[in-house]
Chains A and B, each alone.
Chain A
Amino acid sequence: MTNETQFAPKKQSFLGHYMKTKLREAWNNKVLYLFMLPFMALFITLTVLPVITAIYYGFTYFNILEAPKFIFWDNYVRMFIADDLFMTAFRNTMLFAVILGPGGYILSLFFAWLINELSPKVRAVLTLVYYAPTLANVYVVWKLIFSSDTYGLLNGNLLKLGLITQNIRWLEDVTYIVPCCIIVLLWSSLGVSFLTFIAGFQNVDRTLFEAGALDGVKNRWQELWYITLPYMRPQMLFGAIMSITSAFSVGDQITALAGYPTQDYVAHTLLLHIQDYGGSRMEMGYACALTTVLFFLMVICNKLIQKIIYKVGE
């Protein structure tokens, strides 16, 4: 009895005790904090700080020459009321995000699954073939394919086959710009997520398939849904983040393809709108407000999609 009271901790608040053990633990691991220092110092300066800077300047009028003037919500009000182009940019960004995010994601998953069925040598070659568009990054070539004169690959061959009677100005005609961009963006949408899936499919425990067949899995589609996908959830989460993040940052590809600005701004996106205000008009406050909007759009969509993917196969 006396022994127990002897070793009981001194009267101390729970929180104080907790803080003390944590601090001691931290002190014992001080070398590890040094290990993290180079990365974290740069990460905070170059990744965290820009986010805070963007949010801060988003509430100001700032043209670089004069000191920033605090104007509270005006930038955001202006965006939705006085800026017609913003709505075009917003609509296009959402359109590309909806088509390229889920679309690119499902294409990546689908092709990785099919490629995984083949023998290792063929698999390696086809992985390269399907990933090559992301590697090569050659939007210039599409410009030649969609060229508006009769020497363009598409126009020339359509004319020869008699499908069209006059050359179509694919990248200058407002009805064709957005569809053309979508084709090219889908073509290059098998990115990092595709590689992740290729790797993920190879790692699935193969004995599960035999066990599944005994339990009544009848075809390859059921096998995919009931066995493979639930097994791959970690890769699917990572892949989703990669797809969505790139789907929201469409901009430079459009410029490489259809020039800047595109005819009547039909393919204008938020990233291009930011470049317009930040790079050309020097309205840094407004550009930062746009940045903040795009930033939160990306992060919130990512969080939502993660929630959905947790449900797969459950």
Chain B
Amino acid sequence: MARRYKKVNRSLGGDIATVLFLLLIGAFMVLPMLYAIGSSFKPNDELFRFPPTIFPQNWVTTNYTDLFVLMNTSWVPFTRYFFNTLFITAAGTIGQIVCCSLCAFALSLHRFPGNRFITKLIELALMFNGAVLWIPSYMIMSSLGFINTQWALIVPVFSSAMGLHLIRSFMTQIPMAVVEAARVDGASHLRVFWSIVMPNIKSAWLTLMIFAVQGLWNAGASIYIQSESLKTIAYALQQIISVGIARAGVGNAVTVVMMAVPIVMFVISQSNIIETMATSGMKD
């Protein structure tokens, strides 16, 4: 039976103040989201009414039905955008999990020359992000022939320093002795990797998947892709609302659709993500 820990050094007044304070700031945090959801159900005349309100007086779903109508009139079939996003996300996520897990397996559970150096190098890479280096990255992508292909979005995800760091830290929970024992029993590295390590790091996979999906889902108007038929759903949705004020209502519906996907995914996998992040610390 789990032991119930006595709460020490806590006062009732302090606890109540904490909850009230958290709710107050929490209201500020969700206000823009609520406003977007509220506005997406407003009829057009309520969008431009003084004084503005967060929630509509008459709830209508015309903005969403209009969005579907607009989707059906697009020049490239909308399913095409949808499948592009699906393909980019799936390929990027699977590749990232495979590449990062393989490398992390070697780095976290074995000693060999160069291990420490490579670990340090990857930790250094956490200290800057790809957005800063987009010009040299673009030059390299173009010399690799990745421009105007979906690989330009997919391949960088494979070698994410953050992905490697999370998986490597999670793997260090597996005792080295287990791996060594399996090796002594004659299991190959690949066998140990596949049968012992991979089943034990499912939380880390899921976390990587969520972060990858979040990143790729919002990969809208990428500088790497020019062909309309290769573009993503995020781009297509942004295009719909780029017309401006005439589509203000539909614009709110688009915002809600765009934010719903990552939020729903987070809700589903929250406990696994927290479990993974607990091991993400940097030692030494």
Q: A: which residues have CB within 8 A of B?
A: 22-23, 25-26, 29, 31-33, 35-36, 38-40, 42-43, 45-51, 53-54, 57, 111, 114-115, 117-118, 124, 126-133, 135-138, 140-142, 144-145, 150-153, 156-157, 159-160, 187, 192, 195-196, 198-200, 202-203, 206-207, 209-210, 212-213, 217-220, 222-223, 232-238, 241-242, 244-246, 248-249, 251-252, 271, 274, 278-279, 284, 287-288, 291, 294-295, 298-299, 302-303
Contact = CB atoms under 8 A, between A and B. Distances in A.
Count chain B CB atoms within 10 A of each CB in A49, A140, A217 and give the residue with the most. A140
B176 interface: no
Contact of A128 (B114, B125, B159, B267): B267
Contacts of A132: 29-30, 33, 263
A218 B23 CA distance: 26
A24 to B, nearest CB: 10
Contacts of B36: 138, 140-141, 144
Contact of B136 (A51, A118, A235): A51
Given A237-B281, A241-B127, A137 B259 contact: yes
Contacts of B125: 43, 47-48
B280 A206 contact: no
**Could you tell me the dominant secondary structure of chain A's interface residues?**
helix
B113 A199 contact: no
A66 B267 CA distance: 52
A192 B277 CA distance: 9
Contact of A151 (B50, B118, B223): B50
Given A142-B32, A249-B129, A36 B51 contact: no
Contacts, number: 279
Interface of B: 5-6, 8-10, 14-15, 18-19, 21-22, 25-26, 28-30, 32-33, 35-36, 39, 47-52, 54, 98-100, 102-103, 105-107, 110, 112-114, 118, 121-122, 124-137, 139-140, 144, 155-156, 158-159, 161-162, 164-165, 188-190, 193, 214, 218, 223, 251, 255, 258-259, 262-263, 266-267, 270-271, 273-278, 280-283
A29 B118 CA distance: 15
Count chain A CB atoms within 10 A of each CB in B36, B188, B251 and give the residue with the most. B36
Contacts of A156: 50-52
Count chain B CB atoms within 10 A of each CB in A23, A127, A195, A279 and give the residue with the most. A195
B132 A294 contact: yes
